[in-house]
Amino acid sequence: MPEPKYKRILLKLSGEALNGGDKAQVIDFNILEMYAQEIKKIAEVGVQIAIVIGGGNIFRGASVEKSGIDRVQGDHMGMLATVINGMAIQSSLEKHNMTTRLMSAIKMEQVCEPLIRRRAVRHLEKGRVVIFGAGTGNPYFTTDTTAGLRAIESEAEVVLKGTRVDGVYTADPEKDPTAVKYNQLSFDEALSKNLKIMDLTAFTLCKENNVPIIVFDMNKSGNLYNLVMGEEVGTLISN
């Protein structure tokens, strides 16, 4: 069996990507199926996989402040949205015979396990895919911050941020045709160039705890596998 470069990873998937760019639908099940196939490929070579999924396809706390729903209430709604996405991804992984555990930072025991760090690590050691739902459990945070935090807590070697662009660019490649991709960057460089990779809380957590981040295109088949096998894919941000 080929040896992966990383033994334990934290995969961050955006909620927004789940609707496939179609705001009329919440979840595009073809995308979920694609994710499951990509994740299965790395599970088969023995990579221990933790997943944090966002909720932006369903609800974002900050977007409703004007509507009279206060921020904390909105953020709780956003965190519950991540559990819905977590349940969807759990089902798609189970369809491919992977053993999974969905752990929520907000207790809902009829639906999923409560988050207990030691138990999460044990699941990972046993080869179960752990999906961390409900963000950090606290308002005013993001699922990027959750990804950094859960990576540190579960001793993942790297945060893999799956997006729809293939890395970090000098400018937005969807708007500026002269934009150039970085293969590698230091956290300090990314900060001084004001590159928007993750929010500052998430970024600082990863920098201070020496957890590298790789931004890559999750929609390109084979990328996730190649990445964990040590190929240069996307942009690596490290100290």
Rule CB under 6 A: say whether 162 interacts with ligand UDP.
no
CA distances to 16, 162, 165 from 126, in Å: 30, 24, 32
Q: Which is nearer to ligand UDP, 149 or 211 (CB)?
A: 149
- Which positions from 23 to 52 touch ligand UDP by CB under 6 A, shown as an x/- string? ------------------------------
Q: Which is nearer to ligand UDP, 68 or 177 (CB)?
A: 68
Q: Which helix (H) or strand (E) holds 118?
A: helix 117-125
Q: Which is nearer to ligand UDP, 123 or 150 (CB)?
A: 150
Q: Which residue shows structure tokens 């070697």?
A: 157
State phi, psi for 130 to the nearest 5 degrees: -105, 125
For ligand UDP (CB under 6 A), the number of binding residues is 23
Strand 100-104 to 113-114 pairing: parallel
- Among all residues, whose Cβ is closest to ligand UDP? 54
Minimal distance in Å, beta carbon 137 to ligand UDP?
7
Contact (CB, 8 A) for 218 and 178: no
Task: Please select the residue that binds ligand UDP; options are 38, 40, 42, 61, rule is CB under 6 A.
Answer: 61
**9-20: b (≥16 Cβ within 10 Å) or e:** bbbbbbbbbbbb
Task: Please select the residue that binds ligand UDP; options are 36, 50, 51, 54, rule is CB under 6 A.
Answer: 54
Task: Please select the residue that binds ligand UDP; options are 142, 154, 163, 235, rule is CB under 6 A.
Answer: 142
